[in-house]
Every structure is written in C-alpha cells, then in structure tokens.
Amino acid sequence: MAVSDYQLIQAWNQVLDLSGVQAGQMVSILTSSSTHPQTLATAKIALAGLGANMVQIDLPPINAELSLSRDVLAYLGTTPLTGNPAAIAALKASDLVLDLMTLLFSPEQHEILQSGTKILLAAEPPEVLVRLVPTLEDRDRVLQAAKILEGAKLMRAVSDAGTDLHLPLGQYPVMKEYGFVDEPGRWDHWPSGFILTWPNEGGAQGKIVLDRGDILLPMKSYVADPIEMTVENGFVTRIEGGLDADLLNEYMASFDDPDAYAMSHIGWGLQPRAYWSTLGLYDKEQTLGMDARAYAGNFLFSLGPNNEVGGSRATPCHIDIPLRQCTVTVDDKTVVRRGVVCKEGS
C-alpha cells in the first residue's frame, strides 16, 4: 500500500531524532540509480525541517557485467566509491551519511566510519520503512541480547530438521542493529532489529539443514526442498539436496572464490514487527528482504566476507540465510527456543 509523503517525513523525523541530528550538522545523502525517489525527497524535507546542512552525492551504478542479479547485495566489495577520493572526503567530512545507495562490505565504508562519521542505510521501500520505523524499545531489546553474546565462548544452533552447528566465539566483536545511529562512527540499517557476530576463524563445525520455508538471500526465495550443508573448519564443504541446492551451488560457484563458502556473520532476529511471510508479497526487485533478516526468532547465518569486522575475506559473494524453528544457545543460555525468542536467556 502506498505511503503518503507526510507519513514518511514523520518516520524520517523519528529516525533522525533518534540519531541525534541537530541544526547546523552536515548530512550527506548518498544516492544512485536504485534510490527510491520518495525516500530521497522526504529525507531532504525532514533534514531541512531540522535545520541540517545537506549535500547529495549521486554516483553511477557498477558491477552490472559481474553480477548475476539486479539485487544490490548480489556482488560486493567494489562500490561506486572505489577510486573516488573526492566523494570519500565529502562523506568523511559529514556528521551523518544517509546511505540510500547501499554501501556495504567495502574498505570505503570502513574508512568513513573510522573518521567518526555515522552511516545509516535506508534502502527498503517506503511502506517497509514506515512499518518498521525504529524505536528506543528496539534498541533496548538488541542491547539486552548483546549482554548475553558479548564475552561468550560458544553459540550452538539445532533444529528438528537436522541442523546441529557449533560456533566458537570471541575473535570478533558483537554488532548491534536496531535501526538508527546514535554514536559517532556507528553504522546501522533502517529497518533492522537483530544481533550478530562472527565465529572464530576455522572454528565452525557441524551440519545445517535448510528446511521448507527457510529463506535464501539475495535469491529472495523460500526453500521448497531441504538443503543440507556440511560445515568443516569454518567452511561449507558440501551443499546437497534437490533443485534448490543445485541452484545455490551454481550461483556460488560462479564467483570462483573459495572464500564464498566461509562462515560469515551469525546471530538471531529480534524485531517483532518484521515477518517471515512478507518476502512473498513483494517483487524481488522491490526489497532487500530485511523482514526476513530481522523477524523475531530466526537463526540468521551467512556465508562470505568478514572484512566488515577487520577480517581478511572480501569475497563479493554474500549469502544470508534466516532459518526458522531453531533452538539457539549461547554458552549455557537458550536465547531462541524452537523459533521463539527467550526473554532473558534461560
């Protein structure tokens, strides 16, 4: 359903207020051909109402000849900022960057954040942004989960479908996504609502079974037949099953990069206003699939890069897979039981 400009401006006002935007601050808006025009227009109005100084930096798309999909997350690493020091300098000179282009898993993003600039990604369609406008309660929920995960030594995910995955922890930091940027150098994604970290290098072991109804991203598809993944020493070494497994195998093999099969970020969804079923209501080019990544009680794992947290893997292949009906434990605490978030960990 269409969203009025007024409603989206109000949503921007809430997000910008939570992000601490004040009169006189410098805000850069990063755009490209995929930027939603209503999201851009209403962001400018909201910023003007706050008295912020703003500049729009519009960059051409790249990687069309390399990617197998129109999804902006289907080929990572190089971005329109690569080799563009003038644009990078302008972004580093800003208090806040509104990323309406999708700048992820790149050295340029890391460099900008290190300068103290905040980056907020907002690439979902307006109706998703309005439904999932972040709140302080979202932040509190994610921070509470972070207390359980920080300092933990082991995450384990199991399911009746056959998943039994052991993930040693401690090498990499915990990332908290709650939809706004309230600290210098912070990145976040509106909408979101989940907690994540990366397993120790070479440590992940076990089996992952994607059951019917689990989701593959960026394919944006529900699995029709089970897919079984074998995980050894931090890498997926076998992907077996029917047609869905064949499609996934060919897609990943197209990158010709062993690092594409490495275990990347792991965590669980915490957003009660996101829904597993929403992906089926959108055309694949309309959404990034943030409902699927954030819905409460999923076990979200990914394959591919870890350069976002200082690792050495910068593969352009990144697969996000939210699983339903898993039980997730962190050390001796159960944080998700059969797909339902436990309030305090038990």
Q: How many helices (H) and strands (E) does the chain have?
A: 8, 20
Model confidence at 346: pLDDT above 80: no
State the average pLDDT over residues 23-45: 97
pLDDT (tens digit per residue) in 115-130: 999 999 999 999 999 9
State the average pLDDT over residues 234-257: 97
Say what percent of the chain tops pLDDT 70. Answer: 99
Say what percent of the chain tops pLDDT 90. Answer: 85
Separation of alpha carbons 190 and 128, rounded Å = 9
- Which residues lie below 8 Å from residue 208, measured CB to CB, with a gap of 6+? 157, 163, 165, 228, 229, 231, 236, 301, 321, 323
Q: Of 35-44, 74-83, 104-113, which has the strongest mean pLDDT? A: 35-44
Model confidence at 333: pLDDT above 60: yes
Q: For residue 74, what pLDDT band results from cuts at 50, 70 and 90?
A: confident
Does 66 or 319 have the greater pLDDT score? 319
Separation of alpha carbons 315 and 309, rounded Å = 14
DSSP letter (8 states) at residue 310? T
Task: Report the candidate in 85, 27, 35 with the shortest Cα–Cα distance to residue 58.
Answer: 35
Q: Considering only 97-106, 179-188, 197-206, which range has the smallest mean pLDDT? A: 97-106
Model confidence at 64: pLDDT above 80: no
DSSP letter (8 states) at residue 80? T
| Domains of the chain with bracketed CATH | 5-131 (3.40.50.2300), 136-341 (no CATH)
Count CB-CB contacts under 10 A for residue 230: 14
Query: Is residue 44 classed as helix, strand or coil in its secondary structure?
Result: helix
Whole-Å CA distances, 112 to 19, 181, 184, 211, 215: 17, 14, 11, 39, 32
* pTM, entire model: 0.95
State the average pLDDT over residues 216-236: 97
Q: For tokens 């944006």, name the residue.
A: 220
φ and ψ at residue 93, rounded to 5 degrees:
-85, 0
Model confidence at 315: pLDDT above 80: yes
Separation of alpha carbons 44 and 274, rounded Å = 26
Amino acid at position 145, single letter: A
The mean pLDDT of the chain is 95
Q: What is the pLDDT of residue 344?
A: 65
Q: What is the pLDDT of residue 69?
A: 81
Question: At CB < 8 A and 24+ separation, what contacts does 241-249 make?
Answer: 241/210, 244/210, 244/216, 247/219, 248/216, 248/219, 248/319
Does 3 or 312 have the greater pLDDT score? 3
State the average pLDDT over residues 303-310: 89
Q: What is the pLDDT of residue 121?
A: 97
On whether the CB atoms of residues 305 and 215 are closer than 8 A, the answer is no
Separation of alpha carbons 262 and 229, rounded Å = 12
Q: What is the pLDDT of residue 72?
A: 77
On whether the CB atoms of residues 271 and 192 are closer than 8 A, the answer is yes
Model confidence at 9: pLDDT above 70: yes
Q: What is the pLDDT of residue 66?
A: 74
Separation of alpha carbons 210 and 325, rounded Å = 11
Separation of alpha carbons 269 and 71, rounded Å = 22
Query: Is residue 132 classed as helix, strand or coil in its secondary structure?
Result: coil
